[in-house]
Structure 1
């Protein structure tokens, strides 16, 4: 097939790798509007399960991504000025620019034509003429999708809290949180390493805190200085890094959750953020985009002679698989939007409920009660596991006696 991939993010590049491996005769071109090496964001997170799936899809790029990643197992929270640590599963961070470079190099090595600084602004672009398959991997503002929003059932929901995506020279060895109370309410930060030199920091607060602190009108330089002061114990004297906007307002955003009803029209199919977004607080955006690529490649492999069936199968599968992640993201965003509800707890208990923020029951159960019930349930489960382990052994001992 002749395949045009519009968008050179992780999903579009990885799909081109998968499809070229499935059939080297495919003629695949990736069109990316930005220059090579230029990208928004700092680092992305993922967990071990994704690496297993990437190894199955393309062992070479999976190994390159793993080698370029940093890892952590602990979670650290600073609440007011008190630190608490929780043990957890292994997490990974990698610079977004680094990941894109690795995937672009792998695609090019397989014979994919990757063209940077080459925007495709709509379905009538000449670059798409003659393509058997057009992949809209052009992000949340997808020009290909927005040409037919009614068909795709595009819907946006805008979150309440403003947030800003920053970097720092502080290299975190754990996934770290800091929650600071100000005269205008709470402000908090999530931080994680993505290389040996840099980490990502995402700062969020309620609208009243944002305006009360003057963050809505501050130039970026003043904004970073204030945030460095507020989170001094998290940063250990390291600076925050923005986008070099100087006296221009800092780039605060409100998260837009995108959903779509259907994922293809004719020979055009949506991929990654062009089809869906999930709140950044669950750290799953890149993972879900790469899983889209794996699912689309699998559907095309299973139905090589029936594109309509392949694209329909892909869309149905991924929409069903995304339900749990989308639910978790909504609940996670709501937890932060209702943060004061949890901040009278002891820091250790608050941190425990932070890990439970995907629970659909938590918003409706008093936090102290929920914590005690969760602890009791955990002890009961431990006893059940012990009984399951002891049962056969006791039976064998009785039998031998």
Structure 2
């Protein structure tokens, strides 16, 4: 009996690995597109869960900080094959794009191409991509006067008060304001999730999440070690991102550029390149880690930035059905999401716009790329190719 059970578990893990790797190799287009790919593969084709359970899982991952699409994938893996299933799903979905971006980092270092025209084109691509994210998120998350006001105030404070803790404070305040303004909002119907995780394990994961968030900065002050500083920076960045992968941009920029780990030009070039690969945008951390400390740095940065997402989804799944029905929680989420739009708007200006748009021809190129991306619905990887080609042409004149 035990042998049969073990074979069944192994078969489930291998199936999760195969399907998630397929998605990691083919899922272009960002987190919203990823959710569509997941639905098609996991729900429509394989019927691993019903529509309402999938919708409830997506709602949970939108509520939690971290990369929503990666958390949905981890959650599906957990529900299918337990904790190892969640880990396997993450590896399959994440590893392909990490490998590509680490190779790109080595290319940047080995050939000193940071001043090439196509690299400048990648920076312009990043402006267009984030502008699209601001537009889409703004329409969805700030549809009324109160939320738009929260977003603009958050953007202004982010630009004028640039410290390591400003965004954390903004998110907390926005959550409180949202709870006050929107606690009487209508709560959508939900179904209870059947989760193969004991609540004691979930509590341990949540304690681990908050414990690392508090202890790592303290340990960094006491223990002088490059790997610890790197792990702390990327762990905090992964812990404080609400609203999608693009919002990690300003957090990471403040962690790696002022410290001198990487130049702003190389940072933005890598961010542009990250738009061309499938899988989660958080794999940008692999590029940054490789630029800082080779393969070791890539491994530390990638694990550190995704670890909060894993701890949170595993920790929250057993409690989500009851937590989601709390109107105060819904109000907090509404306020935080509005602030996230403002934080991303600030990042669109600085560092993206101020670094990439240096002349009228740059503005012309970013306008064309934005048009193709938003109105012509051209896939992001093609926009990356166009942007690199456009940057090369600009460099010739």
Asked if these proteins are the same fold (TM beyond 0.5), I'd say no
Q: Which is richer in strand?
A: 1
Q: Which is richer in helix?
A: 2
RCO (CA 8 Å, sep 6+): is it higher in 1 or 2?
Answer: 2
- Mark the structure with the bigger radius of gyration: 1
TM-score w.r.t. the length of structure 1 is: 0.23
